[in-house]
Amino acid sequence: MDYKSLYKSLYLIRKVEEEIVRIYPTDKIKSPVHLSIGQEAVSVGVCEALKHDDAVFGTYRGHALYLAKGGDLKRMIAELYGKVTGCARGKGGSMHLIDVENGVMGMSAVVATTIPEAVGYAYAMKTRGINAVVASFFGDGAVDEGTFHESINFAKLKELPVLFICENNLYAIHSPPEDRHHLTDLCGRASSYGVPASKIEDNDVLEIYKQVNEAVEQMRSGDAGPFFFECMTYRWKAHVGPDDDIEIGYRSAEEVQAWMDDDQVERMAEMLTKEDRAEIEKSVDQDITEAFEFAEQSEFPDPYELYQAVFQ
């Protein structure tokens, strides 16, 4: 297990999002943002177990996933700025990041919609004899959608190499599980389709990597089909935007602080030497500075872009 690689990815995501928080009030960022601060460990732990040719499908809270899978940082920030150099040429914004060359197959603002896309992609890969793994990321609210059940059933029926990664941050927007489910056992739902399921507590990046890596090795060897992981995590910021939302009343300051006290970024930092940590942070900080400069200096799309990449 490469602690330096894990820390670099965690630190990159955290610092990028902190810079987004700083910049957002200026209105230079042209789309709503759903921040991953606090949830970085899930994407990092999973993607550390994947290869370049593996694919991931995400949600509108996708900054962490995009960066953990190796998405181009400059093109991501330019996309947030609405610039033509963005990963979706300035037309997708924060909620629709994509970098096919690095296996980031797309994200969607609509809950659960990328789950069947991931399953379909995995089916295509298996049909073509390509030994690749597909990871589908979604929130706990997506498990309520019918398409989740249809997709996980089909994935098991065809024994597809799909990782179903549920980022359970305890709230579907502002609603806790007990307000939405008679039974809150999400792993039980996956298991009912015959899919091996595991609940990983405490936002533990090392345990996430360990369990996902074991599943990926089984899938690559052809010994297993899909797996379901419920990764307990927590967002520090509001559902949408750079602010805190404790004043709304659906969660307490004490609850937020308890998760902040178990920060996985700091945990991994403490596992490195001071020299290694300083080297990583200096390099990442420079990359972030250059990415935001790139976005600032890039042009907005020309009007003709409205007619590109659309069906007529």
Give CA–CA dist 16/192, Å, rounded: 39
Distant-in-sequence, close-in-space partners of 164: CB < 8 Å, separation ≥ 6: 115, 136, 138, 152, 155, 190, 195, 226, 227, 228, 229
Which pLDDT value is given to residue 312? 64
Q: Which of 172, 213, 167, 170 is nearest to 41 (CA)?
A: 167
pTM, 2 dp: 0.96
Q: What is the dihedral of CA 47, 150, 127, 213, to 10 degrees?
A: 20
DSSP state of 160: -
- Domains of the chain, with CATH numbers? 3-234+273-294 (3.40.50.970)
Which pLDDT value is given to residue 72? 98
Residue 44: count of CB within 10 angstroms of its CB: 29
Task: Going from the first residue of the chain to its last (312 residues), give the mean pLDDT of each consecutive group of 10, the final group possibly shorter.
Answer: 95 98 95 97 98 97 98 98 96 96 96 97 96 97 96 98 98 92 92 98 98 97 92 97 92 96 97 97 98 98 85 68
Distant-in-sequence, close-in-space partners of 102: CB < 8 Å, separation ≥ 6: 52, 69, 70, 71, 72
Name all contacts of 254-259 with Cβ < 8 Å and 24+ positions apart. 259/38, 259/203, 259/234
